[in-house]
Structures are given as C-alpha cells and as structure tokens.
Chains A and B, each alone.
Chain A
Amino acid sequence: MIDVGSVAAPGAPLARRNPVAKLAAALVFSFTLIATLDPVAPALALAVELAVLPLFGIRYRVLARRAWPLLASAGGILVTLVLFAADRSGPVLLDVGPLVVTSGVLLTALGLVLRLLAVALPGIIVFATTDPTDLADALVQNAKAPARFAIGALAAFRLVPLLEQEWQMISMARRARGVDAGRNPLSKLRLFASTAFALLVGAIRRGTRLAVAMDARGFDAGTPRTVARRQDFTRADALLIAGAAALAGAALTVSVLLGTFRPLTG
C-alpha cells in the first residue's frame, strides 16, 4: 500500500513549519554532511536527527518502516567496500583468498554507512511530515515556483492512489476477456509488462481529460491567480534552516577538531 500525505502527529512544532523551509533545511543539512567520509560527523548528525524526531511528531517505529530499505543498502555498502575499498591501510583483520579486510577498510565502511543514513534521514523526516498540497502551495508562494507547473504536478499526484485501483481493474478486465498467463513465468512477465503499459496509457488519457477539465475552470486563462490557502514564511522558518546549517556545521567542526575529518575530494 502506498501512503500519501503527512504521517506527523498533529501540532508537532517542527512539522508545522513551512514546507519549503523544511525542505531547504533538510537539503542544507544533508549536503553539508556529504563533504566528509569520516564516521564521526555523520554519527553526530544521526544523533541530532533522532533527537529532533519527536519535534516533527514522527514515532520511531514509523521512521524505521520508511527507512528499512536503507539498512539493506547499508549492508550492500559493507560488502562492496570489502571488495573495492580505495583505502587498504591499517592492520589486516581478515585474509581469506581475495578478501582482505583491514581496519582502514572497516573505518571507511563505517563512515559510508553512517553517512548514507545521516544524509537520507532528513529528507525522509521532512517528506513524511509534509502534505503534497501544502508543498505545492509553499513552492509557489515562498519559492517562486511557476504556479501552472506546481498545480499541474499536484493534480497529477492525485492520481497515485487511483493507479492502484486501476491496476486491479485492468487485471480483471483481461481475465474477464479470457487473457491470463497461466503458470508460464515468461507469459507472466509479458502479462505484467502489458498491464503496466495499459496503466501508463490509461494514466495519460486521464491526464489529457484532466487538462481539459482544468482549462474549463480557467486554469490557463492568463488571469493572475490568487491563492486560497496562504503559506507564510516566518522567522521561525528561517531559524529552522539556520539551525540545520549550524548543527551540520557543528558536526563537521567537531570532526575536524578531533582530526577524523576526511574530505570527499581527498
């Protein structure tokens, strides 16, 4: 099941911030951290992220559900690094055939895994607490995004839950007409592909009709649009971005002071 919309507890102080501010804060935070390959800065950042989670009104269980594929990726990184790490310094911990694991390799792996988590979590938190309509409104009102494009994308986004039902209808229609795959995996794959294709065709047709309906209500009339739902960018929103930058900067600074900092371009 695909969930759309916000999962934040109502009234969580940071979840209520302007969506553009939240997005900017997440990007600032993540991209500051990308600059380093060491484990210390991301570890500090992760601690910060987990600490502010209650302020966004997300329960740790919800976060875990959204983030579990990341853990799988983290495992992948570990394996890959054992085989392909650039830095093979330090004492050898394990040596079996082609597998040579040194403490340098492990340190790099730890750094990369923590970095992956620390960089991805802010985005997960922000998107989990943001309603698509609010995001589109804020992009138009506070980030000067072109209204026609933001609203058009929003209208298309409304089709997401419908796509799931549509998939079911297409499959039933085929079955009713005598089309099925039986047990043959190849024809199963073919049926899957043709159902997916039919879904895309249906979505485009629906989009075409939706565009006509939008024009019928003056979408493309050239009159300057007004806004029914105001999104304000307040001082608190600016503070959120500044706070994100400061905390990420602090994590890097600590890492530099401890001498663990490893710049990305090094």
Chain B
Amino acid sequence: MSAVVVRGFGWRHAGRRAWALRGVDLRVERGERVLLLGASGAGKSTLLAALAGLLPEDSGAQEGTVEIDGLDPRKAREQVGIVFQDPESQLVMARSGDDVAFGLENRGVPAGEIWPRVDEALHRVGFPYHRDRPTAALSGGEQQRLALAGALALRPTLLLLDEPTANLDPAGATLIRRAVADAVDADTTLILVEHRVAEALPLVDRVIVLEPGGGVRADGPPAAVFAAHGDALAAEGVWVPGRTVPPRHATAPAGEPLITAERLGLPPRLAETDLSVRAGEALAVLGPNGAGKSTLALLLGGLLRPGTGTATATPTLAGRDARTPPHRWRAPALARRIGSVFQDPEHQFVTGTVFDELALGPRRTGRPETTVRTTVDALLERLRLAKLAGANPYTLSGGEARRLSVATALATAPRLLICDEPTFGQDRRTWRELVDLFAELRDAGHGVVAVTHDPDFVAALADRTVTLEHR
C-alpha cells in the first residue's frame, strides 16, 4: 500500500490569483526516501503542508486529492511528523523536555511511557542538555534539533522535513542529517525539501522535481534524473550536483577603507573583533552558530550601540559625518550609506506590500518618485518578484522573502552593504542572480560584507574572509 497518493492536486492560497501548485500527481511507497526539489516559489512547502493536513479550508482553494494511507491528511495526522523551516515558531513549551512531551500528551500516550520516549528522542538527535533546559535559551541549531526530536518522538510513519538545515553551520547541519539518517527506519517514509542537493543525496533514494506553475518536472532515482535532465534542471534553478558556478572575484584591487572596527564587541554576544572593509571588496564573515556574526553585522550597520571598542566610518563613506559613530547617525543618512539585510527576513519588513517595501528606502532618502519606480521595477524583475509586487511580504515563500529583504537593501544602492545569510533557501538561478548583483555592486566600488554559512557563496564571491570563533 502506498504511503502517499496525490492526484491532480492544486492549492491556491487565499488572497492570491495564482495557484501555488497545480496538477501534481504522485505516489510514494512506504519506506521511500524522497528529495523534493523545485525553484523557489514552486510550491514545495505548500505541498508538505498539504501532506501534513495543515492547509485549513479557510485559507485557500483546493483541487484534486491527497491521501495518506488511504485517508484524508487531516484525519491521518497521527502518522505524520513535520519539521518546518523556522524552528522558533514550532516550539510550544517553556522547557525542552516538556516540548517533546507535548505531542505525546496530545496523542494520549500513557503517562508512564512519555518520559522514556522523550529521553530516547532527545538522545537520537544528539540534544546536548538536560530536558529541563529552557527552550528560550537554545541556539537556532539546538532549536532545530529539538523540533526534530518533537516530531520523532511521535514515531511517525511519514516524516516531512522542510529545509531542516537552513541557517545551521556545517557541523550543525551534518549533525541534523545524521540524526535524520539514524532515525528513519525501513518503515518510515521520508520526504525532504532541501535546495542543496549534494548534501541531501546520501539521505534519499528518489528525487521529485516540481515544475513552477504546475505538475511534476522529473521523478526517479537521483542518478537517472540528473543524467536525463541535468542541464535543463540546472537552468531552471535546481542545484544539480557536480555543476559548479563560475566565480566572480574582484577584477580591480580594493580601494580605500569604508569602515574600521577596533576591538568592536558586545559582551556576551560578541567578543572584541578588529576588521576593516574597503570599497570594491567583498568580505565574508564565517563562524559557527552563536559566534556573534549577526551581532557584528548589526554593530557594523550602525544599528546597535557597541559594548566595547568602536566602529568608525571613513570620510569616503560618510563625509563630514565620519567623526560620529554610525550608531548615532540619523536614520535617513544611515540608510543612504549603509544597507543592512537581517538574518530573519521577516524582521525587516515594515510595510504591507512588496512594492512599498522596496520603495520605502529610496523614498526616505529623498529620491524623486520616477527614480523610485524605475529602481523598484528593475529589482522586482531581476529577482523574479514582479508578479508578487502587490503581495504582503509576510505571505511570501521562504526564498522569496529572503530575496525581497536583500532587494530592499539594494534599493538605496548604499556604499556599504551588510548582509546576514543573503543566500539561504535560494534555488540555483536566484543564487547566481544574487552573486551577480553583489559582484556588480562591488565592481562599481561598493563594499560588501556577507555573513554566511554557504561555502559556495564564499568561493564564488568573497575576496577575503574573517572567521569568528565560538566565544
């Protein structure tokens, strides 16, 4: 009997004209391990939500059917475990152990069995703390592991994972993948969404590629799929393994410094750090989860007051304002000179539509309305957001939201651009587009700082790297 049968399935989110996905036909047998691929916005997350029975009737329109072991997914939730991309909003309880126990309580597992199962699940994902550890005190990677434990404790026969390693450092990502490999047995069906195919391949024995706009593009064993459709898939945005991207390193030597950090730090989040960023160079900031990279980005961006040391802008960047530190500049002056992209895109959105979001910066820095329009339209086109101009930023897919947040910083064309994880969750095509955009800016004499866990991005763009150590 098949674990999953999808027939002519389609879903249109409430408030949208376009279908998020449409005409999808699939069968997945019990025990199969499937990698679900597709361009950003192709509907992968939506499909997982449908399989987990988490698309309420009042939130959109459905076509076709989905069955889990012959049941409507809303009735088959007992068998399904799902881990979403954002771990923070799926933790329910204040203590780690209680959070894993939450699902077991809901399923009516006898009280005596709960704690042994909690401990087993925590052990399986390599959770390093006691179960009394407050969930608020966990790093992103630890939260991700806890969320996985919460799903595994329910012993699902169908496990759905949506980019479970986005935002993790390479070591943390390996841990999660190992935990998944250990956890799925012959009876468990696994459906995994992950843009980085090479890392995910050891976990799976089948690849399904969704076609943007509807239907299934390719389906089969990974080797066969990539052999038959490799070029076409790569062109459409799939990270086909073994296909490298040509690097875009600086053609000219770096220019004058734009900003210098001396003993810059914010205990306990960031230890004292020295660095400087020059015009016409791309600097990558690396380091494990929790090392303080995002904190450094906010300090350089003039958004946090330093706890120790100073960040000093040079006259090249700030003219006469160079005498005051960036965190004391007026906001419009700051936005003109330094653009910041936050790690969590949703933290960055201020307005109600994609268009307004992009137009806000240029308007605040006093550009005429016609310039604003052309800038915004060009960015929308290049980052494939034009169709979503009227959409609410909070309804975008993971990758779309990331692109929009990068675009908002690009819109004011600041001399210094500071991006926190600019490429996570991107398909190959938009990834290349982003690399090109950054490279163009750099070659035009702007400084680019990118905090990243993405080794390909470093290889493709960075002229120099700085690695923060764990405190």
Contacts and interface: CB of A to CB of B under 8 A. Distances in A.
Given A175-B303, A214-B92, A225-B106, A180 B331 contact: yes
A133 B95 contact: yes
B202 to A, nearest CB: 26
B167 to A, nearest CB: 16
A218 B94 contact: no
A221 B73 CA distance: 12
Contact of B111 (A218, A219, A228): A228
A236 interface: no
B interface bracket (residues with beta carbon within 8 Å of A): 35 or more
Contacts of B394: 205
Interface stretch (B83-91, B122-130, B227-235, B249-257): B83-91
Interface string A227-257: 1111000000000000000000000000000
B54 interface: yes
Contacts of A11: none
Contacts of B104: 226, 228
Contacts of B150: 217
Contacts of A182: 330
Interface stretch (A20-28, A42-50, A93-101, A154-162): A154-162
A162 B361 contact: no
A133 B92 CA distance: 11
Interface residues of A, number: 46
Contacts of B409: 176
A212 B74 CA distance: 12
Given A158-B93, A217-B154, A228 B101 contact: yes
A139 to B, nearest CB: 15
Interface stretch (A51-59, A68-76, A165-173): A165-173
Contacts of B14: none
B155 interface: no
Nearest to A214: B92
A178 interface: yes
A148 to B, nearest CB: 10
B103 interface: yes
A190 to B, nearest CB: 14
A21 B98 CA distance: 23
Interface in B279-336: 298, 301-304, 330-332, 334-336
Interface in B24-60: 49, 52, 54
Contact of B342 (A155, A161, A173): A173
B90 A176 contact: no
Contacts of A177: 331, 335, 348, 350, 360-361, 364, 408
A245 to B, nearest CB: 32
A123 interface: no
Interface in A123-164: 132-133, 151, 154-155, 157-158, 161-162
Given A206-B89, A210-B89, A218 B106 contact: yes
A162 B334 contact: no
A5 B304 CA distance: 29
Nearest to A225: B105
A224 B108 CA distance: 6
B304 A172 contact: yes
B297 to A, nearest CB: 11
Interface in B393-418: 394, 408-409, 412
A86 interface: no
A218 B103 contact: yes
Nearest to B336: A178
Given A158-B135, A227-B105, A229-B98, A173 B111 contact: no
A227 B110 CA distance: 8
B77 interface: yes
Nearest to A131: B94
A176 B330 contact: no
Contacts of B110: 226
Q: Which of A151, A177, A198, A212 has the most CB of B within 10 A?
A: A177
A66 interface: no
Nearest to B412: A178
A216 interface: yes
A219 B304 CA distance: 40
B17 interface: no
B354 interface: no
A33 to B, nearest CB: 33
Nearest to A215: B54
Contacts of B334: 175-176, 178
Given A158-B135, A209-B86, A213-B84, A180 B108 contact: no
Contacts of A216: 52, 54, 77, 80-82, 90
A157 B91 CA distance: 12
A5 B94 CA distance: 10
A41 B98 CA distance: 44
A174 interface: yes
Contacts of A157: 94
B92 A158 contact: yes
A150 to B, nearest CB: 12
B143 to A, nearest CB: 12
Nearest to A161: B136
A223 interface: yes
Contact of B348 (A133, A151, A173): A173
Contacts of A226: 104-105, 108-111, 114
A176 B339 CA distance: 7
B77 A179 contact: no
B106 A219 contact: yes
A22 B165 CA distance: 44
Given A158-B94, A209-B89, A212-B54, A218 B298 contact: no
Contacts of B93: 133, 154-155, 158
A221 B101 CA distance: 16
Nearest to A212: B54
Q: List the 10 shortest-distance A-B pairs measured between CB atoms, nearest first.
A: A178-B364, A178-B335, A180-B331, A213-B90, A217-B103, A218-B106, A228-B101, A209-B89, A172-B303, A176-B340
Given A158-B91, A158-B94, 5 more contacts: A133-B98, A177-B348, A178-B335, A221-B106, A230-B111
Interface of B: 49, 52, 54, 77-78, 80-82, 84, 86, 88-95, 98, 101-111, 114-115, 118, 135-136, 150-151, 154, 298, 301-304, 330-332, 334-336, 339-340, 342, 344, 346-350, 360-361, 364-365, 394, 408-409, 412
